[in-house]
Amino acid sequence: MSFLKRIFGDSVNEMPVKASLSNADKNEKVADDPVLFAEWVSEYIVLGVSFDMDWDHAPNEEQCQRLNISEKERRLCANEFVLLRALGACMFVRANLDEKYYLVFRKSLMPEVIERMDRNSPHMHHDNPSDALDQYLDDLKSESHIDFSMTYLDRVYPDTPSAGGILAQGIPVLVGLEEATLILKHTQDGYCKLKFGVDYETLQKLHNLSNET
């Protein structure tokens, strides 16, 4: 059981941070409502980074030449970042909140993600980001990163003859999974600040102190 799932079992009176918060009710409402939280995550985390900024983190021209990465694949790489951010957010929600909350959150989050990806996808490229999100989540049930890496390669680098080298260098994990994990942590902190007024690390310390007294 995750730390947050344990902490949600505590009564409100046992959480010392909430009573002293200003504007706590408004922020807590956002955290408690999966639609409002999805809107918050979308605005500040998932879509808060522009496609141009994502493009800057895609392989540069020298890397593309060295690894035989096409312009289409370069665009696919840049475009995948927004899905990886959605993945990280969904990883947090699915692991820490109940199934009903997660399903509503996911349903509310994905339309704007899909619209953003459609708008920036290569010409004539057909994709189903919702299915890809589910595939990534299913891949991550395994402790091995192989399945995740293969899904990432199939989506981002479907044509390059250097796919084996990209896999061997661990790029799907170093780029794809690292992005999702970073966003999971940002989403976790965002939720804790909305719900309790403090970040995850501070909340954990307060929880431990309350259990010691």
Cα dihedral across residues 36, 95, 45, 167: positive or negative? negative
Residue 159 CA to its chain's centroid (Å)? 26
Cβ proximity of 45 and 190 under 8 Å: yes
Cβ proximity of 102 and 93 under 8 Å: yes
Q: Is residue 184 over pLDDT 90? A: yes
Q: What is the total residue count of the chain? A: 213
Over residues 49-87, the pLDDT tens digits come to 999 999 999 999 999 999 999 999 999 999 999 999 999
Cβ proximity of 68 and 161 under 8 Å: yes
Paired tokens of 130:
């919702």
pTM of the model: 0.88
Over residues 26-35, the pLDDT tens digits come to 999 999 999 9
